[in-house]
Amino acid sequence: MTHQRKDKGKGKAKETASEPRQVALSIVYSPSTGRILMVTSRAHPHLWILPKGGVEEGETGGEAAVREAWEEAGSPPTLPPPSEAERLSLLALPSKKRPATWHVYILEVEEAVVHAIEDWPESHERKRAWFTPSETLSRIKQWYTDPSALDVDEKRPVEVEDGLGADGHEDVEREGEGEGPTPTTAGYDLQLSEIGQNVSAGAADGELAEEREQDSRIKDKGKSQKDTRKKKENKGRAMEMAISFFADLKRLELDKR
């Protein structure tokens, strides 16, 4: 993961799969209280994240940050979008499928103004709450390390594109199916030796091929889960880095325990 602070550039969405996906990350900050607005993950409602999502075609990064904060957290959609020169940082997240570039912006708005907004696009899917910067760091770490968030649950939604949910948001993670016991051929060998000619060699070959195919699928699923965990950790560390940059800019003390 690399970063570039306050670099100028266009935040327009990239349409080519080989190019990094452009993502806006919003740090919604209340100057009077010094707290940051977080939202719950839709995939794991007991965990908290920062508002973020893909930069749409024709949008600047700042416009996407305002839109994502409105859709996910209910901050005012009329906030003036920060310019590229006001961008806090760029964070590059590697990926085997498609890398991403996160554009990090600070949106300043008082808690009372946000509290007055009772209905927003994802108000029935997420909770929102304000936390100190140190509390924010703690909840981000919990999001990418909580074991329950990595449990297998086929009822949870899976990602449609690399890091992109069906409606364009990013907090929905692909769920790995975990590693199971590795199939062996010992049982079939024993069975063949006992029943002899009752099982043809061709049938045994078919069963062995099926087992090998199953073994390969299980290994692939285990690798997929490992990749998912690494990808989630990268996202979590990117959010931590963004909060650290923010704290440096605002000269805030952070408890990084």
- Residue 178 inside a domain? The answer is no
Pick the range with the lowest mean pLDDT from 56-60, 121-125, 182-186, 196-200. 182-186
| pLDDT at residue 234 is higher than 60 | yes
* pLDDT tens readout for residues 11-40: 445 456 679 999 999 999 999 999 999 999
Beta bridge partners of 108: 29
30: phi then psi, degrees, rounded to nearest 5: -100, 110
Q: Are 41 and 159 in contact (CB under 8 A)?
A: no
- Residue 179 inside a domain? The answer is no
Q: Which of 146, 136, 211 is nearest to 181 (CA)?
A: 211
Q: Do 138 and 194 fall within a single domain?
A: no
Residues marked active site are found at 71
Q: Do 98 and 194 fall within a single domain?
A: no
Section 92-107 average pLDDT: 93
- Residue 181 inside a domain? The answer is no
Q: Do 127 and 47 fall within a single domain?
A: yes
Q: Do 73 and 191 fall within a single domain?
A: no
The structural domain count of the chain equals: 2
Q: Do 134 and 211 fall within a single domain?
A: no
- What is the pLDDT confidence band of residue 4, given thresholds at 50, 70 and 90? very low
Q: Do 139 and 212 fall within a single domain?
A: no
* Distance of alpha carbon 221 from alpha carbon 225, whole angstroms: 6
Section 131-143 average pLDDT: 97
| pLDDT at residue 111 is higher than 80 | yes
- Residue 255 inside a domain? The answer is no
Q: Are 168 and 212 in contact (CB under 8 A)?
A: no
> Range of 158's domain?
2-172+235-250
Report if pTM > 0.75: no
